[in-house]
Chain A
Amino acid sequence: MTALAVHPVPGAEDGPPDDADEARAVGRKRSTPYLLLLPAGVWLIIFFAVPLVFLLSQSLQTGSLTTGYALTWNFAIYPEAIAQYSEQLIRSLVYAASATVLALLIAYPLAYTIAFRAGRWRNLLLVLVIAPFLTSFLIRTLAWQNILATDGPVTGALQALGVTDLLRGIGLIDGNKLLGTPLAVVTGLTYNFLPFMTLPLYASLERIDPRLHEAAGDLYSTPWTGFRKVTLPLSMPGVVAGTLLTFIPAAGDYINSQLLGSPSTTMIGQVVSGQFLRVLDYPTAAALSVVLMLTILALVTVYVRRSGTEELL
């Protein structure tokens, strides 16, 4: 792209020589998109490209704080880090995927209702979806500690209903408590990223022309067939955007597992933070970050290809 941009604009050379003014105008018009991209481009270079180079470099360095770090192309760190922390990496992906599916199941009916059935309550409901953002992420997660407290009413009620026995039976919890279990971590992730699922879904559902529903009805489709053949396909861009916005941050999250989990629910974000802050093993921390990034990128590419919505990328 940039290679093309520095060359004379084709239109300018094509035009008759006496039409210089017009050519300049065309040239300006051609350069406008690049000017508009400039702020975001600079931002991306400073806050993404440069740190990414640092990260890659750091992962291939060896040394210590006293001796300094030098680039030794230590590629062996990658297989080592993956071998040592594959358990946490896979767990993170499984938790993130579970949270994404749960969030989709909760958010779709919600977004559908807001888009088609809410009437004058629509704006209020949208505000309510976003309202949790008014408090900090940390506070919201800490609140779940109270909700899921071992001697709290939720745990008590679930026990009385026999739900805890069921959950224990399928291995989601251990003993009679909810906190410190995979279930608590996935619940926290689902809750925290729900708005990221709801809003794109709402945006794509809201764009659907309601007359299409009527047309489906006129053609003798049942409401369910209408939904399956008209609404769902048209809302796919929202589904894809929502799942990406949920899955990607959830896979790297470390707050939920830190506050709601136990040592056996550790996610990869916690490992990176521990290696970076406590062990001071910067290369391993950097390598794990790169591995996480590439894994997510690969999964997302496959997913987007499968769902046939490449134009989103």
Chain B
Amino acid sequence: MERDLPPLTLPLLRGTLSRRTFFRGAGAAGLAALLAACGTAAQAPKSSEDRAAEDKSDKEKVVNWSNWPEYIDVDDAGKRPTLEAFMKQSGIKVDYTEDYNDNDEFFAKVQPQLSAGQDTGRDVWCSTDWMVARLIRLGWVQELDKGNIPNADNLEDNLADVEFDKGRKYSLPWQSGFTGIGYNPDATGGKKVESIDQLLTDKTLKGRVTLLTEMRDTVGMVLLAMGKDPASFTDADFDAAMTELQNARDAGQFRGFTGNEYTSGLASGEIAACLAWTGDVVQLQADNPKLGYALPATGHMIWSDNFVIPNQAQHKKNAELLINYYYDPKVMAQVADWVNYIPPVKGTKDALTAADPDVADNPLIFPDDEVRAHAHVFRGLSEDEETKYNKQFQSLIGA
């Protein structure tokens, strides 16, 4: 071997022995410093001046809105009529992006910018209640200037004062919905599935039940079935609910835990019964009227997806004008007619009665007071609780 090396290489190689040792020591110290440099700073709550960026709204007539897929009215030509009308009327161009598929995924996407105090490139998006709670807790969203949103007065009374955002300073609902039970009679042999107990223990449904990856929906429904209130449960209640779920899981009752993707399985009958969101099922029923939907007698969950404006948004005022526009009942009626969720704006039902009485009479879109009384919200969680519960739930759903 050594003979083949160029003449000077050998002493060099011999010399490197000590040098290598030196480098190894220096390398270890350097690696340690490098690893330490990767930490992230603590999130001191920022003052409102630090949260806000210079508002370019008047110079750039643009607003960037991120929303969930199929969550706004679309006409036959693929255009979005209410958005088009807003652009025409206000002269503000809306960049509407359907890149909000999942609260957790979206959070992971914007978390690096928000924790570094940078612009996310978005002026407004619609987060579910608990995610709004987290964003407020972290100080990553800005207070809304209600001066730009006079229509905010049209907000339904029962949504006006929520635990995570007293007085709705940071958020306004876009759509609300119930979590109930969807089932396909073809797959259940014509049987109705109307209780959580049935979902968890009915052997004829074995392996063909899905629950939701949204911890608050799944655990909330089980808590209700156990006679506990999701708005005021204890650690022990949570553990008891997890035990019920774990037993059903171990018995092979579940096909899986899903987000919106349960819809195709429910329609085809691969999923016999599942926890499902109202708007999804109303849309599925339009194609397959046989599909069943039940709000259990023990109670059901209600949630909202809410407009929030992130820190450093470049077009805050434009975003507020957009929100104001959708808080007009006539506009919200057009959206409700298409998305089939529960609109949070007073007067929407009256505005819709003339145009589409079928939808206006649908109790899943405009629930009566009795149904609303059975609707429950999950209580706000501290960061420690959220981590602990998420960890338990995550090991239940097997990931």
- Chain A stretch 217-235: residues in CB contact (< 8 A) with chain B: none
Kindly state whether residue A145 has any CB partner on chain B within 8 Å.
Answer: yes
Residue from B39, B138, B255, B265 in contact with A57 in the complex, judged by beta carbons closer than 8 Å: B39
Identify the stretch in B152-160, B192-200, B363-371, B387-395 within 8 Å (CB) of chain A at 4 or more residues: B387-395
**Contact (Cβ within 8 A) B8 A280:** no
**Contact (Cβ within 8 A) B387 A279:** yes
Top 8 nearest A-B pairs (CB, nearest first) are: A274-B399, A263-B398, A57-B38, A68-B42, A266-B398, A57-B35, A270-B399, A10-B6
**Contact (Cβ within 8 A) B35 A71:** yes
Kindly state whether residue B354 has any CB partner on chain A within 8 Å.
Answer: no
**Contact (Cβ within 8 A) A66 B6:** no
B252-272 to A contact mask, C-beta < 8 Å, 1/0: 101111000000010011100
Which residues of chain B are near A278, meaning CB under 8 Å? 104, 213, 390, 394, 399
For the side of the interface on A, what is the size category?
35 or more
State the CA gap A11–B7 with chains docked (Å): 9
**Can you show 30 pairs from A to B with CB atoms below 8 A apart?**
A3-B19, A10-B7, A14-B8, A56-B35, A57-B34, A57-B35, A57-B38, A57-B39, A61-B38, A65-B111, A66-B138, A67-B43, A69-B39, A71-B35, A145-B265, A149-B268, A151-B187, A151-B270, A175-B206, A177-B208, A179-B255, A262-B254, A262-B398, A263-B257, A265-B398, A270-B399, A278-B390, A279-B390, A279-B391, A281-B391
Q: How far in angstroms is the closest Cβ of chain B from A311?
A: 17
A142-153 to B contact mask, C-beta < 8 Å, 1/0: 000100011100
Closest to B187 in A: A151
**Contact (Cβ within 8 A) B394 A279:** yes
Kindly state whether residue B108 has any CB partner on chain A within 8 Å.
Answer: yes
A-B contacts, CB under 8 A, total: 129
Which residues of chain B are near A266, meaning CB under 8 Å? 398-399
**Contact (Cβ within 8 A) A11 B38:** no
Kindly state whether residue B361 has any CB partner on chain A within 8 Å.
Answer: no
A235-246 to B contact mask, C-beta < 8 Å, 1/0: 000000000000
State the CA gap A264–B12 with chains docked (Å): 57
State the CA gap A56–B32 with chains docked (Å): 10
- Chain A stretch 17-65: residues in CB contact (< 8 A) with chain B: 53-54, 56-58, 60-61, 63-65
- Chain A stretch 249-307: residues in CB contact (< 8 A) with chain B: 258, 261-266, 270-271, 273-281
Closest to B211 in A: A263
Which residues of chain B are near A274, meaning CB under 8 Å? 394, 397, 399
**Contact (Cβ within 8 A) B43 A66:** yes
